[in-house]
Amino acid sequence: MSCNLRLLISCPDRKGLIAALSSFIAMHDGNILSADQYVSDSGTFFMRLEIEGEGFGLARDEFAGAFAPLARRHDMDWRLSHTDTPKRMAILVSRYDHCLIDLLWRWDSGELEAEIPLVVSNHPDLASRAEIYGIPFHHLPLTKETKAEQEEKVVNLLREHKVDLVVLARYMQILTPTFVGAYPGRIINIHHSFLPAFAGADPYRRAHERGVKTIGATAHYVTEELDAGPIIHQDVVHVTHRDTVEDLVRVGREVERRVLARAVRWHLEDRILVDGNRTVVFE
């Protein structure tokens, strides 16, 4: 399988950036397969480049050294990945199985470019779901008194398995700052409302009480502030006065599945750059 390079860049916008990047790649016999760019209102330039690996003149261990002078000159934050090295993704889940099942099915069908070394849960209920796909399932029970100890065990497992991305597939726990700090910008959560509306617990019931005509789901990066991290993707579905809370839960779970799956895929394909509390997503 051929290996391509994905280069993500953010820096202050100025004239000549695209020309400088294109010249650098051409100088090393590179072929640009795709290029997306965006300039924010604050004047920050964002770019995603995919470069054909075959024929490219820089080896993996040579790229950083060769690119460093250009990056310094333009004050760039950048990261590089290779398509033959999929990210390692851990899934954390509680008792609701719909997002877990959807992610595992998409992964098994080849839709998600990742390795999944483990599924972690604070309940034993979904062990069989992971085992169907041959993925180790770790049950780490949690109480109010053991939360810190349980989180430390989870983080140690993630580090042991060299996890790059943590997906909270309806993991019904609030992560501590210590946990969040261990994986900054690498924890994706699905919240079952159209944030910032109905943040926190039991949003479907609160939406029903408010009589909303649209419900939604939000995939976002996790920060220390509950349900307030940079939003990656959202979608909605229309409801009516006839719908019960149970109806909202049922149709809402369909939205949750597709919103989370799309956000995870974009992260795995290096399509997301964080801009403060916003994201730039090159779909």
Per-residue model confidence as pLDDT tens digits over 127-164: 999 999 999 999 999 988 999 999 999 999 999 999 99
Q: By the 8 A CB rule, do 79 and 8 touch? A: yes
Tally the domains of the chain. Answer: 2
Same domain, 95 and 190: yes
Q: Where are the alpha helices (DSSP H) in 12-126?
A: 17-27, 60-73, 98-108
Task: Determine the Cα angle at 30 with ends 24 and 32, to 5°.
Answer: 95
Residue keyed to tokens 């990945």: 81
Which of 65, 82, 99 terminates a domain? The answer is 82
Write the DSSP symbol of residue 1. -
Identify the CA nearest to 198 among candidates 174, 219, 216: 216
Verify that 117 and 239 share a domain, yes or no.
yes
77 and 98 share one domain: no
pTM: 0.95
270 and 156 both lie in a single domain: yes
State whether 18 and 109 are in the same domain.
Answer: no
pLDDT digits (tens, 9 = 90+) for 195-218: 988 888 899 999 999 999 999 999
> Does 61 share its domain with 106?
no
- Is the same domain home to 210 and 247? yes
Catalytic residue among 102, 164, 227, 243: 227
Asked whether the predicted pLDDT for residue 1 surpasses 90, the reply is: no
* % of the chain with per-residue pLDDT over 90: 95
Owner of token pair 């604070």? 122
Gap between the Cα atoms of 87 and 154, Å rounded:
18
Q: Are residues 184 and 265 in the same domain?
A: yes
Residues 22-63 pLDDT 10s: 999 999 999 999 999 999 999 999 999 999 999 999 999 999
Which of 44, 64, 82 is the last residue in one of the domains?
A: 82
Q: Average per-residue pLDDT in the chain?
A: 96
- Tell me whether residue 275 is one of the annotated catalytic residues: no
3-state secondary structure 148-199: HHHHHHHHHHHHHCCCCEEEECCCCCCCCHHHHHHCCCCEEEEECCCCCCCC
Contact 122, 137 (CB under 8 A): no
Range of the domain at 224: 87-281
DSSP 273: E
Rounded to 5, what percent of the chain is helix, strand, coil? 35, 30, 40
CATH label of the domain that carries residue 254: 3.40.50.170
Same domain, 114 and 203: yes
CATH of the domain at 24: 3.30.70.260
Same domain (yes/no): 67, 102: no
Which residue among 82, 98, 115 closes a domain? 82
Q: Do residue 43 and residue 94 come from a single domain?
A: no
pLDDT of the residue at 144: 86
**For the chain, what percent of residues have pLDDT higher than 70?**
100
Q: Are residues 140 and 247 in the same domain?
A: yes
Give tens-digit pLDDT for 230-267: 999 999 999 999 999 999 999 999 999 999 999 999 99
